[in-house]
Structure 1
Amino acid sequence: MQTQVRRSAKAAIAPESEAVEQIALALMGVGTLPEARLAETATWDRSDAPCAVGRDVIVAALADNEAPVSITIDQVVTHGKAGTVSGRLTRDGSGTHLFCHIIRFTTAQCRNIAQLVSFEQREG
């Protein structure tokens, strides 16, 4: 089954934010995150798992992701060497969850990811 991705009217994607959105989708199991985008010492802090430290550990964690049924993106914000993507997602059997992904890059050119922070909480 393919995940349905929607954007709320207030989440019109600006060209400079598209890459941040694609990274967030990959963190949720939709699409791929090229291994080369991760700094060798990158970290991924998640609300539902221990912190993943290092490119190889993050890539392995991404391989275990199960994509949700649907994702609604409410907001994408970028500034300098950071970006956030937030909204709601629906998982089979567990209902709707709020999510937020914070992406921090090594430089303002946003080529390599230094840190990922992901929160997911069941709504209601």
Structure 2
Amino acid sequence: MLRDAPRASSSWRLPQPGPKILILLQVTLSVVVGKTLMILFPNAMKRYILKMGEKSRMNRNPKFSYENWGPTFFSFKYLQFVLKVKWKRLEDEAYEGHPAPNTPVVTLGGEVCHLLDFMKEVYEVT
């Protein structure tokens, strides 16, 4: 996401806890509401989750039955995963006129490296 540069006088900034706390509250509220609805209206939530799965074509794979992955929605592990992803996205902001973030990537071999390092290796080989 490309944004205008912040108006800070120095080139570095300290991490701000504000956005992380807001994301924590939003995701926690979503998980609590979702879990409550799963307890109160299990059939309706099953239909809703299956409808969400249609968009990703997950329902068409016979190896993925709802009983295997449906109950994982709105669990504590789900909360942890969503928080990890959303918090990581906070660090990956790009500002016009400033260097882009050096985002971690995973190669096909399973090796974790940073995007800039990966691109340097690719261009050195070719």
More helix per residue: 2
More strand per residue: 1
Q: Which has the larger radius of gyration?
A: 2
Fold equivalence (TM over 0.5): no
TM-score, normalised to structure 1, is 0.25
